[in-house]
């Protein structure tokens, strides 16, 4: 009888282990965009991702934006070896990219129309959402070339410093509003995966 009980408990333990492992490998829902969620502006960013003036060597002209995806930072070049550094959220694995674009449009409290590819991945998303505090694009958006990508605010300040987006770059609303006021349409934007050598 003791051997039988031991066998039963061993089988139960094995089944529990298999279930816990399979749950950990199950695809988790995409929580990068949560329409309607109001931003918790009391979220304190890690000092690494707080807006600050830094030394930054580059040959790019003042006013250029350089996005360092791996670092989770956006730099607005000031000249004389200085830049304003902002903490950002970036595209998750498979949604990161690099290139050279320009800001083609700017919008305050932009409306959001998720592209069909995003709807296919996240069918729960609305087909359209008017601008406002619960909009995932946040307080401001700067559109990158003719792509579907933007530099924008967020209603999820807790995602700054992470890789959860579908390829856009998000800042907390205070930072995106600051950046928005500093740059014109036509601003050059360089997106890099690795630091400049």
Whether 70 sits among the annotated catalytic residues: the reply is no
Q: How many CB atoms lie within 10 A of CB 10?
A: 10
In the residue annotation, 168 being an active-site residue is answered as: yes
Alpha helix positions (H), 48-122: 116-121
b/e map 90-126, b = 16+ CB within 10 Å: bbeeebeeeeebebeebbebbebebeeebeeebeebe
The one catalytic residue in 152, 157, 165, 169 is 152
Given a contact cutoff of 8 angstroms between Cβ atoms, the answer to whether 83 and 56 are in contact is yes
**Cβ count within 10 A of residue 7:** 10
| Bridge partner residues of 192 (DSSP) | 68
Of 66, 67, 168, 172, catalytic: 168
Catalytic residues, which ones? Answer: 152, 168
């Amino acid at each position: 009888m003791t051997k039988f009980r031991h066998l039963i408990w061993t089988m139960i333990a094995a089944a529990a282990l298999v279930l816990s492992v399979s749950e950990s490998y199950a695809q988790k829902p995409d929580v990068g965009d949560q329409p309607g969620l109001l931003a918790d502006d009391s979220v304190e960013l890690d000092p690494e991702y707080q807006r600050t003036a830094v030394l930054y060597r580059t040959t790019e002209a003042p006013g250029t934006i350089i996005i360092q995806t791996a670092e989770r930072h956006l730099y607005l070049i000031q000249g004389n070896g200085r830049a304003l550094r902002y903490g950002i959220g970036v595209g998750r694995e498979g949604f990161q990219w690099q290139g050279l674009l320009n800001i083609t449009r700017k919008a305050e409290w932009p409306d959001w129309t998720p592209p069909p590819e995003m709807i296919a991945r996240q069918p729960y998303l609305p087909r359209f959402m008017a601008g406002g505090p619960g909009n995932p694009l946040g307080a401001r958006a700067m559109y990158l070339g003719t792509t579907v990508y933007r530099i924008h605010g967020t209603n999820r300040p807790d995602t700054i410093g992470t890789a959860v987006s579908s390829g856009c770059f998000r800042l907390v609303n205070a930072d995106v509003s600051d950046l928005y006021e500093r740059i014109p349409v036509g601003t050059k934007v360089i997106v890099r995966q690795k630091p400049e050598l």
